[in-house]
A and B are shown apart, each in its own frame.
Chain A
């Protein structure tokens, strides 16, 4: 079993960071949801808050790691212009290759079915919207840390925080889902 350097980075960017992000989101959402009056004893609040602080900051950190590694390490391999103006480097290709046909070239060339939209809609959306995830997740982590248990009686504020938290997750889902599909059709090898 072997992974190339490029494959290893796609695993770090998508699979490892993505899994950690999902775990942190699930824990964070459950923690935020249960921060309501009458649910917890003072002792439970202290214990719950420690886990919540860790969860929201891990989610923010993982979101940053994901978008930075995606943009600055993986994306240049994806978008390299290798195939020429008319994508002749991809002629007859079943998969992209690092010598003459990058994943972007492969998708735009339509040599393996109608794949152009995966780049023009999927990748174009994913590469931008995913950056909203760390911005929102960091704001949520700050607000949760700043207020701590004071969030419990603040119904409206708690709703805002949950909305921002879900917004961060939704942005990451767009990035993650399109990333998984695109890497299935035009893998970085």
Chain B
């Protein structure tokens, strides 16, 4: 994911924007937000599958419920949100002032998000159920 080709190549002519005298902004922070969303969704799907596949994982995820009766869903969602937030912070710092090829970052995020989505689909995650 080099910073050589920027997404600025997808710019159309928009004279009305020129009148607003806006300073251009690098695409790094947007790439961080997009990839972090993909990572968060992937984490949710992965944890959903692992909770079915492993009794130990299921019990560990259930321990996040703090006696509220939520079960392993508490751990799956809380850990996924923590992963999402942390990855956004780390990527945000790393890419804050950088110009990046947004298309590459988007496709990576899309693959991660799609895998995460599949992981939350019952026929898929239930097929990993521990005997």
Residues in A lying within 8 Å of B, measured CB to CB: 36-38, 40-42, 45-46, 67, 71-72, 75-76, 79-80, 120-121, 124-125, 127-129, 131-132, 135-136, 138-139, 142-143, 146-150, 152-157, 160, 164, 167
Contact in complex: A125, B121 (CB < 8 Å): yes
Q: Which chain B residues lie closer than 8 Å to A127 at the CB level? A: 73
- Alpha-carbon separation in the docked complex, A148 to B77 (Å): 31
Of B14, B16, B36, the residue contacting A139 (CB under 8 A) is B36
A interface footprint on B4-36 (CB within 8 Å = 1, 0 otherwise) = 000100111110110110101101011001101
Contact of A153 among B12, B70, B122 (CB under 8 A): B12
Main secondary structure of the interface of B (DSSP, over half): helix
Report yes or no: A75 in contact with B70, Cβ–Cβ below 8 A. yes
Contact, CB under 8 Å: B74 / A128: no
A-B contacts, 11 of them at CB < 8 A, read A71-B74, A72-B74, A80-B69, A124-B122, A128-B120, A131-B44, A135-B84, A149-B20, A156-B7, A157-B10, A157-B30
Apart from A125-B120, A132-B117, A157-B27, 17 more pairs, CB < 8 Å = A36-B12, A37-B17, A38-B16, A42-B16, A75-B73, A76-B68, A120-B126, A128-B45, A128-B48, A131-B44, A135-B41, A146-B25, A146-B33, A150-B22, A153-B11, A154-B12, A157-B10
